[in-house]
């Protein structure tokens, strides 16, 4: 990969979690440094050639002006944005870029199914979402973005899910975990039963989509 253009040499993925975004970046960059404050998250990451995992929060430990692309996927609302952006400006190479993205609430493919999921998400467990999540649902637009911003198109994250797969995803929500720790699983069981009544064959894949928010830019020239 030594023949790659200059702007595809090194990417830094901050708050990488289990490395999903880093794996995608590794297809296009010579090297990816993927950092996360949680050793437990990094322990779940799939190690691949070209990706270096490091335990770190907003500080990367990378040299000045060394990084061609800085990313944070589904993570900016959990970071100290000011500290992260200052670190990004420090490590970005001349001509380098930054991209932050995340997806919003899932939308199911019939009004009946969507009403059931929405009642659970924005009713039953609403108070168990941490307030930082609103930053994501606002598309990160309320966070000052100290870069020369690039106008980006609108995106949607579209996938096919069976009912068991969707329920596995709902169980992974942090608000679900907080709610069930306090109240047990009756609401989850009721959600699955209500969805099943409208789903048909539970193994039948149905469309699930969500808005995908993206902000991108370059370092501001001084």
pLDDT digits over 40-64, tens only? Answer: 999 999 989 999 999 998 989 999 9
Q: Is residue 145 within 8 Å of 220, Cβ to Cβ?
A: no
Tokens 């009946």 identify what position?
112
Per-residue pLDDT at 220: 80
| Cross-strand partners of 210 | 157
pLDDT for 113: 98
The torsion defined by the Cα of 179, 77, 163 and 120, in degrees rounded to 10, comes to: 40
Write the burial class of residue 15 (CB in 10 Å: 0-12 exposed, 13-18 middle, 19+ buried).
Answer: buried
Q: Which residue has the tokens 């609103």?
A: 134
Q: Which two tokens stand for residue 93?
A: 């190479």
Distance CA(11)–CA(34), nearest Å, equals 8
Please name which of 208, 205, 185 lies closest in space to residue 118, comparing C-alpha atoms.
208
CA–CA separation, 164 vs 161, rounded Å? 8
Q: Count other C-beta atoms under 10 Å from residue 181's C-beta.
A: 9
The stretches in the chain having pLDDT less than 70 are: 1-7, 222
What angle, 0 to 180 degrees and rounded to 10, lies between the N-to-C axes of helices 186-199 and 174-183? 120
**C-alpha–C-alpha distance, residues 88 and 70, integer Å:** 7
Q: Which helix (H) or strand (E) holds 21?
A: helix 20-25
User: Rounded to an integer, what distance in angstroms lies between the CA atom of residue 15 and that of residue 154?
Assistant: 24
Q: How far apart are CA 137 and CA 113, in angstroms?
A: 21
What is the reported pTM? 0.88
> Of all helices (H) and strands (E), which one includes residue 6?
none
Instruction: For residue 129, give Cα distances in angstroms to 21, 39, 149, 209.
Output: 23, 23, 29, 20
């Amino acid at each position: 990969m030594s023949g790659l253009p200059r702007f595809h040499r090194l990417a830094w993925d901050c708050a990488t979690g289990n490395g999903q975004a880093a794996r995608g970046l590794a297809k296009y960059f010579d090297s990816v440094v993927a950092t996360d404050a949680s050793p437990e998250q990094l322990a779940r990451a799939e190690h691949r050639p070209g990706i270096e995992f490091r335990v770190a929060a907003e500080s990367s430990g990378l040299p000045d002006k060394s990084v061609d692309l800085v990313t944070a996927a589904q993570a900016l609302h959990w970071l100290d944005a000011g500290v992260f952006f200052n670190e990004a400006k420090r490590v970005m190479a001349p001509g380098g870029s930054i991209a932050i993205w995340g997806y919003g609430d899932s939308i199911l493919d019939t009004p009946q199914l969507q009403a059931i999921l929405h009642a659970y998400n924005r009713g039953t467990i609403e108070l168990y979402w941490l307030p930082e999540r609103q930053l994501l649902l606002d598309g990160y637009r309320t966070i000052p973005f100290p870069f020369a911003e690039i106008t980006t198109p609108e995106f949607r994250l579209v996938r096919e899910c069976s009912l068991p797969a969707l329920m596995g995803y709902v169980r992974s929500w942090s608000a679900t975990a907080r709610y069930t720790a306090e109240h047990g699983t009756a609401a989850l069981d009721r959600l699955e039963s209500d969805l099943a009544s409208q789903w048909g064959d539970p193994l039948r894949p149905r469309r699930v989509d969500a808005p995908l928010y993206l902000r991108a830019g370059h370092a501001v020239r001084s």
